[in-house]
Amino acid sequence: MARSLRVVCFVNQFFGQLGGEDKAGLPPQAMDGAVGAARAVQQALGEAGTVVTTVACGDNYAAEQGERAVAELIALIAAAKPDLVVAGPAFLAGRYGVACGALCAAVQGQLKVPAVTGMHAENPGVELHRRQVYVVQTGAEATRMLDEVRRLVALGLKLARGEAVGAPAAEGYFPRGLTRNVVTSASAADRATAMLLDKLAGRPFSSEVPRPAFPSVPAPRLAKTLEGATIALVTDGGLVPRGNPDSIEPLNATRYGAYSIEGKTSLDATQYDNPHRGYDTSWVKQDPHRLVPVDVARELEQSGAIGKLHETVYSTVGVATTLAHSARMGAEIADKLRAAGVDAVILTST
């Protein structure tokens, strides 16, 4: 049998039995053996390991002076020479969860010691740290503490022993966004066909390619009448001035341009170009209004149907663009439009 592992646990003031919210300002401290929630870790470890030290830190201290708290905790943990660090579980406690994630990342990175933590899916520590560290999924409250700690410890022991760690669903941790090659007995065609048959029959199936999650955005109300509103034109169809002055990429764009239409009642095709490589741009190059309708928008402005046409058109190339870049560019453009007093946008897309 393998030698008994030295384990250090991290808890907050509450789970370390130091006190409640009144003790949330406590700085990091080390206590001998398993204290408070760490006793569940010791129970789950059994003969496999010994909790030699429990380190604790107040939630507010950790939240308000995060870097300092982590540095102080790391020094306390290093002195205990652990083979494994178990942080939490933090359940739905936000300050605690964030501290557990940050500490595990530092333990792995600075001490080169494996670490594991656990929390509820909606704990902000999950999104902040799941890519760097193993975060086991738990319930929202500590009602099933020992069961949940057993899962943290099982994964922690694998890490400490250098054993292979299975997929997130099998081991119960949040996906870290890693891709690993595996050998399967069925070919991709067989697996895809089986998935399709399951889907058509209404049976559950799980895709091998996770799709990005698109958070739902509440639809804003137009606060003014159209006759009093400033409307902007934005496009992801790639219209740029001739020469593409902002060097917007033909695909997987990371940039966008802001182009003035001040004084223009129409767009002169000879003055524009289009680097978009996701569709045949011939027709738009022939007549840019087929993408950015400055001509009719200007007429609607002059007839009073809309209050004003914003004098800047924002444009980028929307093809193979990552969600992260799209979200960033969209937020930047929205900020600029809002600052300019724009009330609504017509975004034309190909």
Partner 1 sequence: MTPVAVMVGANRIVQAAGIIHPLGNADLAPEEEKALRRRIVEQALQALRTEVAKPTVFTRE
To partner 1, the closest distance from the beta carbon of 350 in angstroms equals: 5
Site membership for partner 1, residue 217 (CB under 8 A): yes
338 binds partner 1 (CB under 8 A): no
The smaller minimum CB distance to partner 1, of residues 83 and 236, is found at: 236
Does residue 279 interact with partner 1 by CB under 8 A? yes
Closest CB 316 distance from partner 1, rounded Å: 15
207 binds partner 1 (CB under 8 A): no
Binding pattern to partner 1, positions 247-266, x when CB under 8 A? --------------------
Q: Whole-number minimum distance, CB 179 to partner 1, in Å?
A: 23
Q: Is residue 331 near partner 1 by the rule CB under 8 A?
A: no
Give the residue, chosen from 192, 305, 331, 340, that forms a contact with partner 1 under the rule CB under 8 A. 305
Question: Of 13 and 312, which CB lies nearer to partner 1 in the complex structure?
Answer: 312
Interaction between residue 328 and partner 1 (CB under 8 A):
no
Report, in Å, the least distance between residue 245 CB and partner 1.
24
Task: Write down the least CB distance from residue 280 to partner 1, Å.
Answer: 5
State in angstroms the smallest separation of the CB of 239 from partner 1. 11
Residue among 86, 119, 159, 306 that touches partner 1 (CB under 8 A): 306
Residue 291 in the binding site for partner 1 (CB under 8 A) = yes
Q: In angstroms, what is the minimal distance from the CB of 237 to partner 1?
A: 7
Of these, 107, 284, 313, 333, which contacts partner 1 (CB under 8 A)?
284
**Segment 276-281 long-range contacts (CB within 8 Å, at least 24 positions apart):** 276/237, 276/238, 276/250, 276/251, 276/317, 276/318, 276/319, 276/350, 277/250, 277/251, 277/317, 277/319, 278/251, 278/317, 278/318, 278/319, 278/320, 278/350, 279/237, 279/319, 279/350, 281/238
Total site size for partner 1, rule CB under 8 A = 38
Taking residues 227 to 246 in sequence order and writing x for each that binds partner 1 by CB under 8 A, - otherwise, the string is --x-x-----x---------
Rounded least distance, CB 146 to partner 1, Å: 41
Of 295, 325, 334, 336, the one binding partner 1 by CB under 8 A: 295
Instruction: Give the distance from CA 238 to its chain's centroid.
Output: 28
Does 222 participate in binding partner 1 (rule CB under 8 A)? yes
Query: Which residues in this chain contact partner 1 in the complex, by CB under 8 A?
Result: 214-219, 221-222, 225-226, 229, 231, 237, 279-284, 286-287, 289-293, 295-297, 299-300, 305-306, 344, 346, 348-350
